[in-house]
């Protein structure tokens, strides 16, 4: 029985939430297999209306787990924060690591900090830059087998009162989603030839429910989540595994635009967040949701209005702050 027919079969017998929790648990489990078949046996105890289900999910296409040494890894936006921490850990495990970013000074600092790191100045929101990057990687690093689409920016935008041009307004669309789609597309041919190949797309816990003071960012991250689901399905018959890392609020430069709005928010250290990422990667967990991101996904599924209201509290602060244009 497929997941859909399983859902249809038991809806109506249990409160919807209970059924959905069961299905979510199945989906969480099935994330770790690239291809699965679901089998379920349900029986209802007439006396106490108790429904028992046994769910079996078997992998039909077991692959070897990701190897975390001996890879050639390209990380976009690797000059600070999450990208730099990922680079550091891959370097420690004897991988060849290349990072990109726009700011040459930040890249040079990263290179001085980590021996063996290759840095390339590059803007993912510029298709010509991506084409040049591809040529360089194909020539100098033909063994590339892991692409980590991490580059991203995040801004507060007051939709009622901003002075941005149309192009400026949608900058996160250009960098966070268009850049990621273009990079994946450009490097696909190179990755397809490789064993142990992967694309990792960095989304956000805010892909599941928006923080309304950052409307374009959250829309872009929701698109990253959706695109990653499609990419994973389309590449299922190739050797490329498609991962999504959805970080929660993490202590990096990205959050420096926020002040009071972050009060009460649990902020994860970059080291702990990236540690969870590596654990997920080593277990072929295709959707990695560290810390609060897991809760955000759960809440967005079962209590969508409540969680949106919670995340909307900072809108009033933004309206009161005349500096946010
Ligand atoms: N920190 C969080 O709370 C959090 C939560 C969820 C998701 N994330 C996601 O995690 C990823 C990394 O962010 P971070 O927190 O590590 O922030 P960060 O320290 O600001 O790092 C962002 C990186 O992206 C680079 N970048 C920005 N625009 C770029 C472009 N057009 N082309 C190439 N590189 C570009 C930056 O370098 P340059 O500016 O020099 O280009 C920098 O290396 C982002 O996708 C972000 O959305 C972060």
pLDDT at 320: 83
Same domain, 162 and 247: yes
Which are the contacts of 137, defined by CB distance < 8 A and separation ≥ 6?
Answer: 74, 98, 144, 187, 190
Cα–Cα dist 18/240, whole Å: 35
Measure 235 CA to ligand 1 centroid, in angstroms: 26
Residue 193, pLDDT > 60, answer yes
Cα–Cα dist 155/275, whole Å: 26
pLDDT at 100: 98
Cα–Cα dist 136/98, whole Å: 11
DSSP H helical segments within the chain, as ranges? Answer: 3-10, 16-30, 81-92, 104-113, 127-140, 166-169, 171-172, 179-192, 215-234, 270-282, 292-302, 304-311, 314-320
Q: What is the pLDDT of residues 61-87, one digit of tens each?
A: 457 899 999 999 999 999 999 999 999
Indicate whether 322 belongs to any domain: no
pLDDT at 262: 85
pLDDT at 263: 86
pLDDT at 321: 75
How high does pLDDT run on average in the chain?
86
pLDDT at 205: 98
pLDDT at 206: 98
Residue 134, pLDDT > 70, answer yes
H or E element in which residue 57 lies: strand 50-59
Burial class of residue 168 (count of CB atoms within 10 Å of its CB; 0-12, 13-18, 19+)? exposed
Q: Taking the mean position of all CA atoms in its chain, how far away is CA 226?
A: 10
pLDDT at 260: 86
Residue 9, pLDDT > 50, answer no
Same domain, 151 and 35: no
Q: What CATH number does the domain containing 188 carry? A: 3.40.50.720
Residue 129, pLDDT > 50, answer yes
Same domain, 227 and 249: yes
Q: In this structure, is the dihedral angle defined by the CA atoms of residues 32, 240, 275 and 213, taken in order, positive or negative? A: negative
Indicate whether 213 belongs to any domain: yes
Number of structural domains found in the chain:
2
Residue 4, pLDDT > 60, answer no
Residue 28, pLDDT > 70, answer no
Same domain, 95 and 163: yes
- From 289, 291, 308, select the one nearest 299 (Cα to Cα): 308
Query: Does the active-site annotation cover 286?
Result: no
* 195 vs 128: which has the higher pLDDT: 128
Q: Distances from the Cα of 2 to the Cαs of 36, 58, 87, 243, 285, in angstroms? A: 10, 12, 40, 23, 21
Domain of residue 7: give its range: 3-59
* Residue reference for tokens 């209590």: 303
Q: What percent of the chain has pLDDT over 90?
A: 74
Same domain, 88 and 55: no
Measure 202 CA to ligand 1 centroid, in angstroms: 9
Q: Ligand 1 test: best mutation among 78, 83, 88, 152, most atoms within 8 Å of CB? A: 152
Q: What is the pLDDT of residues 41-53, one digit of tens each?
A: 444 444 444 454 4
pLDDT at 323: 55
Dig out the tokens for 296 from the structure.
């955000």
Same domain, 169 and 302: yes
Cα–Cα dist 302/305, whole Å: 9
Same domain, 162 and 38: no
Q: What is the mean pLDDT of residues 24-39?
A: 44
Indicate whether 65 belongs to any domain: no
pLDDT at 322: 60
Q: Ligand 1 test: best mutation among 252, 255, 288, 296, most atoms within 8 Å of CB? A: 252
């Amino acid at each position: 029985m497929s997941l859909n027919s399983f859902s249809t079969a038991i809806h109506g017998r249990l409160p919807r939430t209970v059924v959905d929790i069961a299905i979510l648990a199945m989906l969480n489990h099935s994330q770790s297999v690239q291809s699965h078949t679901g089998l379920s046996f349900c029986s209802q105890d007439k006396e106490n209306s108790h429904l028992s289900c046994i769910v079996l999910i078997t992998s039909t296409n077991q692959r070897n787990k990701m190897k975390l040494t001996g890879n050639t890894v390209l990380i976009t936006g690797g000059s600070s924060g999450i990208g730099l921490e990922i680079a550091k850990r891959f370097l420690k495990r004897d991988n060849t690591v290349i990072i990109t970013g726009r700011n040459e000074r930040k890249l040079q600092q990263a290179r001085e900090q980590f021996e063996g790191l290759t840095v390339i100045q590059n803007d993912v929101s510029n298709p010509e830059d991506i084409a040049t990057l591809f040529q360089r990687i194909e020539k100098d690093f033909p063994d590339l087998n892991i692409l980590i689409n991490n580059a991203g920016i995040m801004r507060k935008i007051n939709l009622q009162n901003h002075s941005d041009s149309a192009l400026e307004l949608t900058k996160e669309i250009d960098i966070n989603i268009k850049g990621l789609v273009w990079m994946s597309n450009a490097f696909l041919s190179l990755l397809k030839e490789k064993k142990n190949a992967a694309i990792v797309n960095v989304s956000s816990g805010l892909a599941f429910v928006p923080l309304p003071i950052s409307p374009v960012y959250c829309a872009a991250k929701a698109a990253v989540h959706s695109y990653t689901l499609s990419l994973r399905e389309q590449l299922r018959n190739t050797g490329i595994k498609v991962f999504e890392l959805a970080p929660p609020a993490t202590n990096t430069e990205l959050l420096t635009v926020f002040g009071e709005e972050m009060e009460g928010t649990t902020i994860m250290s970059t080291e702990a967040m990236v540690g969870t990422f590596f654990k997920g990667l080593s277990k072929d967990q295709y959707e990695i949701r560290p810390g609060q991101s897991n809760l955000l996904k759960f809440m967005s599924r079962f209590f969508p209005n409540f969680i949106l209201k919670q995340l909307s509290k900072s809108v009033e602060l933004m309206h009161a702050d005349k500096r946010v244009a």
